[in-house]
Amino acid sequence: MAYLQMLRKRKADINELLLSDSEDNQVTDTSNELNLPDDVGHSTSDTSDSDFHTDIGMSNSDSEVEIINELMHILKQHGHVLPKDARTLQDTPQTVDSQLKRDGQYIYYGLERGISRVLMQDAFFRQKHDTVHLDVNVDGLPLFKSSKLQFWPMLVKYSNCIPFIVALYCGKSKPEPLEDYLKDFLEELKDLRDNGLMCNGKKFGVNLHTFVCDAPARAYLKYIKGHTAYGSCERCLVRGQYVERRVVFNQLSSTLRTVVAFSRVEYSSHQTRASPLIAAGIPCVSAFVLDYMHTVCLGVVRRMLVYLTGGPKFVDCLLDRNVTSQTNLKYSKARCPESLCDSPVDLMS
């Protein structure tokens, strides 16, 4: 805003210099040399209107709240009586109604509400599709290093839309019991799967496509043993072996797990008890994907790199520390897109 005021003052000074000259042709020549807008030399009211349009056009904020704040500031300078902040104008509530869940607070925003809001913003999807396939994510998020307080949001997305929050839990541990945390979501999901969703005069079917979670969250939702247990494989009946202070799975082929057997809680070495997802008709074997980031990038690939760079000498020699690895990392770092959060780092660090 300080820049806008300086610009208006500069334009006013130029207008005074131009208006003091009695010859119209000199005014025209001077205006062309300075590349001034067409309103220079007009009346004071025209200049005021021009200043208003200039102020509106110079807003470069991306946030909706910041845009409204800048607009209200401009309107106030032109005589309008408005609040200072957009939150006051939109009557944003200062408190949020939440429910107590054991040792934490819980808020349910609604699945149908989120789907409808996103559908109304995507006319192309409404025209081309008649079924919504949902991807669900549940994960824990620590808030502070000095406290155990953490968020457990439930995020949902479909197609290429931006994920939206369906439920949110805040407490010093994961939400317990799990049945209470998932109750509202599962009840609304069942209703949408049975009856569909009406949006803009069109009925959409709603199906659950997959759960996208890391290993601890999958174990929490499915009531299975952690990824370090002997029977932790979520796809087959292979049993792990303890080798060099870690559990490994050496068999390349084994009997696959089935949804029917999982629903009957027949895998005693894998399951701890029946998950509430089973009662909701969700196939806990096929509906949960193994996430690529933790399984491959931060799992197998990371272990291979650590072994090659810091393992036994006969393996360590396979990498040329001074040439191959460092050169490739420099080229990779230069070619990384800006959207990539974690850029390549030195293997020796």
For residues 259 and 283, the answer to whether their CB atoms sit within 8 Å is yes
Is the predicted pLDDT of residue 265 greater than 80, yes or no?
A: yes
How would you label 255-291 residue by residue, b for 16+ Cβ within 10 Å and e otherwise? Answer: eebeeeebbeeebeebbeeebbbbebebebbeebeeb
Residues 151 and 189 in one domain: yes
pLDDT at 317: 52
Domain membership of residue 145 (yes or no) is: yes
Q: Which of the four pLDDT bands, split at 50, 70 and 90, describes residue 206?
A: very high
Domain membership of residue 54 (yes or no) is: yes
Domain membership of residue 281 (yes or no) is: no
Domain membership of residue 217 (yes or no) is: no
pLDDT at 320: 52
Name the residue with higher pLDDT: 124 or 313. 124
The last residue of one of the domains, among 212, 231, 259, is 212
For residues 48 and 79, the answer to whether their CB atoms sit within 8 Å is no
The last residue of one of the domains, among 166, 189, 212, is 212
Domain count, the chain: 3
pLDDT-above-90 percentage for the chain: 37
Q: Are strands 104-108 and 164-171 parallel, antiparallel or unpaired?
A: antiparallel
Q: Could you report the per-residue pLDDT of 180-202, keeping only the tens digit for each?
A: 999 999 999 999 999 999 988 89
Q: Could you report the per-residue pLDDT of 112-134, keeping only the tens digit for each?
A: 999 999 999 888 998 899 999 99
pLDDT at 22: 44
Domain membership of residue 223 (yes or no) is: no
277-296 mean pLDDT: 89
Q: Could you report the per-residue pLDDT of 4-59, keeping only the tens digit for each?
A: 555 455 556 555 654 554 444 444 444 444 444 444 444 444 555 556 666 666 66
Joined together, the tokens standing for residue 288 give 């949960």
Structural domain that includes position 168: 99-212
pLDDT at 97: 77
Residue 271, SS3 per DSSP: strand
Q: Which of the four pLDDT bands, split at 50, 70 and 90, describes residue 296?
A: confident
pLDDT at 57: 60
